[in-house]
C-alpha cells in the first residue's frame, strides 16, 4: 500500500505550560501594556528584552510589534531616508521589500547564487551602479552567505548592514551569532518562526545611539528608562526630542509566552537540525535533487528545507506537487508563475518597479520548499523522505535523470 502522511504542515507546537500560566497571570492582572507596571515591577516585555540580548550576545534589545516593524524601525534608526536606495536579496519574503517601501525607500534587488544566498559579485556591481549606502541582508530560509567576505565588502564601500534574521534566530557564522554582524539584527516571532507569539519582532544591536533611536521610534512615550536592555538614558537627551513615535510596541502578553520559549530554544534548534539532516540525507542521495551547499563555518537552524530540481518543467512541477499533496506532503514551489501563500517571489512586488534578475529567476524555477514543524517526529520525517523519494525518482527533471 502507498505511504500517506496525515499530519498538517502548518501545525506548530503548543505554547509551553509555563507560557500559558504566565499569560493567565498577565490577563488576570490586566496590565498588558509594557509600560503598565506598578511598584518596582519589571514588565514581561522588558524581561524578554534582557533575556534575548543575553542569549544573542548583544548589548541591547528592543521588542516590537512584528518582524516587519523591526526592519522598518531599524532602517529609520540607521538613517534610511525617503527616496534612498536599499539593497536587498532578490530571494526573500514579501515583508522585506515591503518594509523598505514602508519607510519610503526604494528596494534594489541583488541576484542570488545557487546556494540561495546573496551574490556578492552582483552586490558589488549594484553598490557601484546605485551608490546605495544601505544593505538589508536577508538570511532567507536560514542560508548564510560568507559573512567574512560580505562584511569586508561592506566596510570597503561604507555600506550600513541591517540583518534580517527571521530565519536565523540561533544560527552562527564562525562562532558569532547571526544578527551581530551589521548595525542591527531583526527577528520575527510570527507563528511560523523559531519562537511563536502570533506576531512580534525583536531588534538587537550593540550601538547605543542606534538603539536609543529605535526605542523612541517604537513608541516609548518618553518611558525609555523602562527598557530592560536599552542604552544609558544620557543617549536619549537629544534623540528623545528628535525622533517621532511610530507606535509599534510589543505587549506583555506576547513577551510572557516568549520567555519560556527562549529558554527552550537551543533544544529546539537541535530537534530541527535532526529533522533537517534526516530529510536532507534522503534528498541528497545519488544526486536525486540539488541541495544548497552549507559552508562549514556556518551553524544553521534547519526549520525548513529547500531542494532544487533544476531541469523541471512547469507542467512536471505542478503534477509533482499535486501527487505529493495527495499523499499528504506539502511542498511549495518558488517557480510558479503566480506566487502563492508564503512562497513569494520578486514578480509579486510589481509596486517596486519590476526587476531584471535572470540568474535568480533561473534558480527559483527549480526551487522547492518544505516546512519542518517540530510537531513532526523523526519517524514522520523518515516517512516524508520516503514519499519524496518515490515521487522524485520517476521525474524527468531530476538531476540524475
Ligand atoms: C517572516 C519574515 C519577516 C518578517 O516577518 P513578520 O511577519 O513581519 O513578523 C522578514 N523576513 C523574512 C525572510 C521572513 O520570513
Q: For residues 372 and 304, is the Cβ–Cβ distance under 8 A?
A: yes
- The phi-psi region of residue 238 (left if phi > 0; otherwise alpha if psi is between -120 and 50; otherwise beta) is alpha
Ligand 1 centroid, distance to 39 Cα (angstroms): 36
Handedness of CA 208, 209, 215, 221 (dihedral sign): positive
C-alpha cell at 167: 530565519
Which of ligand 1's atoms lies nearest the C-alpha of 190?
Answer: 9
What is the Cα–Cα distance from 88 to 189, expressed in whole angstroms? 21
Grid coordinates of 94: 514579501
Residues 207 and 236: their CA atoms lie apart, in Å, by 13
User: Which three cell numbers mark 319?
Assistant: 503534477
State the number of CA atoms in the 13 A half-sphere of 59 facing the CB: 13
Helix (H) or strand (E) holding 21: helix 17-29
Residue-wise pLDDT tens for the chain (401 aa)?
789 999 999 999 999 999 999 999 999 999 999 999 999 899 999 999 999 999 999 999 999 999 999 999 999 999 999 999 999 999 999 999 999 999 999 999 999 999 999 999 999 999 999 999 999 999 999 999 999 999 999 999 999 999 999 999 999 999 999 999 999 999 999 999 999 999 999 999 999 999 999 999 999 999 999 998 999 999 999 999 999 999 999 999 999 999 999 999 999 999 999 999 999 999 998 789 999 999 999 999 999 999 999 999 999 999 999 999 999 999 999 998 776 666 678 988 989 888 999 999 999 999 999 999 999 999 999 999 999 999 999 998 788 77
Q: Where are the alpha helices (DSSP H) in 207-313?
A: 208-219, 236-242, 252-263, 265-284
- CA 342 to ligand 1: nearest atom: 15
Beta-carbon contacts of 358 under 8 Å, excluding residues fewer than 6 positions away, are none
Please identify, by atom number, the ligand 1 atom nearest to the C-alpha of residue 164: 11
- 67-125: pLDDT as tens digits: 999 999 999 999 999 999 999 999 999 999 999 999 999 999 999 999 999 999 999 99
User: Residue 388 contacts by C-beta under 8 Å, 6 or more apart in sequence?
Assistant: 279, 282, 283, 324, 329, 331
Atom 4 of ligand 1: nearest residue by CA position: 67
- Centre of ligand 1 to C-alpha 167, Å, is 8
Q: Which ligand 1 atom sits nearest the alpha carbon of residue 186? A: 10
| Cα-to-centroid distance, 4 and ligand 1 (Å) | 31
Return the best residue to mutate from 190, 250, 343 for the ligand 1 pocket (most ligand atoms within 8 A of CB): 190
Identify the residues whose C-beta falls under 6 Å from ligand 1. Answer: 66-68, 92-93, 95-96, 138, 140, 164, 166-167, 188, 190, 193, 201
> Relative to the CA of 141, which ligand 1 atom is closest?
13
Gap between the Cα atoms of 319 and 325, Å rounded? 10
Q: Please choose, from the candidates 46, 72, 60, 73, the residue with its C-alpha nearest in 3D space to the C-alpha of residue 204.
A: 60
Nearest Cα residue to atom 9 of ligand 1: 67
CA distance between the termini of the chain: 26
Residues present in the chain in total: 401
Backbone angles phi, psi at 268, to 5 degrees: -65, -35
Residue 398 pLDDT: 81
- Give me ligand 1 centre to Cα 315, in Å: 30
The 10s digit of each residue's pLDDT in 159-212 is 999 999 999 999 999 999 999 999 999 999 999 999 999 999 999 999 999 999
Amino acid at each position: 500500500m502507498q505511504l500517506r502522511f496525515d499530519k498538517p504542515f502548518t501545525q506548530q507546537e503548543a505554547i509551553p505550560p509555563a507560557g500559558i500560566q504566565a499569560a493567565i497571570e498577565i490577563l488576570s492582572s490586566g496590565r498588558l501594556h509594557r509600560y503598565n507596571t506598578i511598584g518596582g515591577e519589571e514588565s514581561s516585555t522588558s524581561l524578554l528584552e534582557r533575556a534575548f540580548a543575553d542569549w544573542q550576545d548583544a548589548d541591547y534589545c528592543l521588542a516590537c510589534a512584528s518582524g516587519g516593524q523591526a526592519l522598518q524601525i531599524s532602517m529609520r534608526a540607521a538613517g534610511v531616508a525617503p527616496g534612498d536606495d536599499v539593497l536587498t536579496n532578490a530571494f526573500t519574503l514579501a515583508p522585506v521589500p515591503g518594509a523598505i517601501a514602508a519607510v519610503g525607500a526604494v528596494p534594489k534587488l541583488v541576484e542570488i547564487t545557487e546556494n540561495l544566498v546573496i551574490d556578492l559579485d552582483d552586490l558589488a556591481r549594484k553598490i557601484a551602479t546605485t551608490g546605495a549606502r544601505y544593505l538589508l541582508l536577508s538570511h532567507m530560509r536560514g542560508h548564510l552567505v560568507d559573512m567574512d567576505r560580505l562584511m569586508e565588502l561592506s566596510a570597503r564601500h561604507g555600506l550600513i548592514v541591517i540583518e534580517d534574521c527571521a530565519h536565523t534566530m540561533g544560527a552562527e557564522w564562525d562562532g558569532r551569532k547571526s544578527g551581530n554582524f551589521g548595525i542591527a539584527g531583526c527577528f520575527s516571532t510570527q507563528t511560523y518562526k523559531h519562537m511563536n507569539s502570533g506576531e512580534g519582532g525583536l531588534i538587537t544591536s550593540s550601538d547605543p545611539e542606534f538603539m536609543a533611536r529605535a526605542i523612541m521610534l517604537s513608541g516609548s512615550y518618553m518611558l525609555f528608562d523602562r527598557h530592560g536592555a536599552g542604552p544609558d538614558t544620557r543617549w536619549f537627551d537629544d534623540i528623545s526630542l528628535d525622533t517621532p513615535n511610530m507606535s509599534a510596541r510589543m505587549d506583555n502578553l506576547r513577551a510572557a509566552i516568549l520567555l519560556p520559549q527562549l529558554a527552550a530554544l537551543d533544544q529546539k534548534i537541535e530537534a530541527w537540525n535532526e529533522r533537517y539532516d534526516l530529510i536532507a540525507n534522503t534528498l541528497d542521495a545519488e544526486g536525486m535533487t540539488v541541495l544548497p551547499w552549507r559552508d562549514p563555518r556556518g551553524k544553521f537552524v534547519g526549520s525548513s528545507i529547500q531542494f532544487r530540481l533544476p531541469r523541471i518543467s512547469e507542467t512536471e512541477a505542478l503534477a509533482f506537487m499535486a501527487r505529493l499533496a495527495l499523499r499528504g506532503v506539502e511542498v511549495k514551489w518558488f517557480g510558479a508563475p503566480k506566487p502563492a501563500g508564503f512562497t513569494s517571489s520578486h514578480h509579486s512586488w510589481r509596486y517596486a518597479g519590476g526587476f531584471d534578475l535572470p540568474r535568480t529567476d533561473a534558480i527559483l524555477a527549480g526551487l522547492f520548499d518544505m516546512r519542518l514543524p517540530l510537531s513532526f517526529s523523526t519517524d514522520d520525517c523518515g516517512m516524508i523522505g520516503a514519499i519524496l523519494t518515490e515521487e522524485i525518482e520517476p521525474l524527468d527533471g531530476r538531476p540524475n535523470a
